[in-house]
Amino acid sequence: MQTLAKHWHAETNFVVCDLCPRGCQIAEGKRGACFVRRNDQGKLLTDGYGNYSTAAIDPMEKKPLYHFLPGTKILSFGVIGCNLSCKFCQNWEISQSRDLGLVTRECTPEQWAELCIQKDCRAIAFTYNEPLITFENTYAAAKHCHERNIKTVIVSAGYVNKLPLAELVEFIDAANIDLKAFNNEFYQQICGVSLQPVLESLQLIKERGVALELTNLIIPECNDNLNEITAMSKWITAELGADTPLHFSAYHPAHKFSNRSTDFTTLHNAYKIAKDCGLNYVYIGNVTNPRFNSTFCPQCQALLIERSGYCTRIVGLQDGKCATCGKEITGVWK
């Protein structure tokens, strides 16, 4: 299905999409960089409203979210398209797809809420592709889910203008944002966009009280510079807070990149840097290592949540506090 888009304005010979910083100027019959937003007789329409390409019931930890309802399951769905063009995309089959035939499955925003209840899911995730480019669908579904007391999650690159993001996060409970690098050149050459709007999105999400976690996919010889990781970790600590969970994730060859997979030593070095910069909750993802997947108390180092793969066991967390020393642990636990 399609619907009239929000956040656009008309010019003489084209429409301008105001959803993300690209500001695509879209001529009649053409589409924006994200593919799903198009000019139809001088109006900006969004394809994919009430449709999806893929859906699944996932463990919350797969998002990854480690400080938000651990051990619960979440209904996840995606459409197609993205306003980034990451050459290393791990989910490129749908995020970079230009085939509307992939989004013929129907589920309205109202039906997503009902489906969560039927499947006994306490939360819903807008994920797999970039959920912000189908803003109208994501917003409507999130609003309906909130009305049914279902928690909402976005997994996003965070490349969006402030006004639509501010509107959306009113109905978003948690977010995992891909901070792909701390290097504008990387963003421009590898992802086709710029870094600063992403940083501003992170600040806004944090200010609005959304439970925020970050993922940094470390790609050998691309964004694995230790000085850059240090700068990123210091910025997160200063601007988002020391309790912001950060996931360093292992890269595996995908899409247009054939770089070698990330070795554990690189991930461990990044982990140590982030901890030395003051971040309390740092994790290593895409590898099975309970020591670096589990949550420990930053005050007494007691084990709070043990994770092995997607098997999660709460062992030392009681009423949101460390059962050993009583320190309050940042997160949404119930």
3 state SS for 173-184: CEEEEECCCCCH
Q: How far apart are CA 130 and CA 174, in angstroms?
A: 15
Is the CB of residue 218 less than 8 Å from the CB of residue 183? no
Residue 258: the pLDDT is 82
Is the CB of residue 310 less than 8 Å from the CB of residue 281? no
Is the CB of residue 25 less than 8 Å from the CB of residue 16? yes
Residue 57: the pLDDT is 97
The residue written with tokens 């306003």 in the block is 83
Residue 260: the pLDDT is 86
Q: What is the DSSP letter of 89?
A: -
Q: How far apart are CA 273 and CA 231, in angstroms?
A: 10
Amino acid letter, 206? K
Amino acid letter, 162? K
Residue 255: the pLDDT is 85
Residues of the chain falling short of pLDDT 70 = none
List 215's β-bridge partners, or say none. 178, 247
Residue 257: the pLDDT is 82
In this structure, how many other beta carbons lie within 10 angstroms of the beta carbon of residue 237?
Answer: 18
pTM over 0.95? The answer is yes
Residue 259: the pLDDT is 80
